[in-house]
Amino acid sequence: MATKTVTDASFQSDVLESDKPVLVDFWAEWCGPCKMIAPALEEISDELADQVTIAKMDIMENTDTPGKLGVQGIPYLVLYKNGERAAELTGARPKSQLKAWLEGEL
């Protein structure tokens, strides 16, 4: 299962109302570290597809949600469980660290 694109318009239904945990990657096209972790997130999305949905939100195309959440730096990963922020991580990490962090939070 590939990562899912989320927009300001779909954030409520795709993330907050999801029946399973959702990890949202706030990113931008110009962000080098965001591009570095993108392949790892795609792989983790496949490996943990039955446990979590991995979603991506481009902060340049969708400004309302990142603004409301106070996103200051990217990449910014937020894990939502039952519509609530459960964990967050700022900055790029190797795939092994990203996956271990996520699994520890699920």
Active-site annotation holds for 70: no
Catalytic residue among 15, 22, 23, 34: 34
DSSP assignment of 2-67: --EE--TTTHIIIIIT-SS-EEEEEE-TT-HHHHHHHHHHHHHHHHTTTT-EEEEEETTT--HHHH
Q: Which of 15, 24, 31, 48 is catalytic?
A: 31
34 is catalytic: yes
Q: Which residues are catalytic?
A: 31, 34
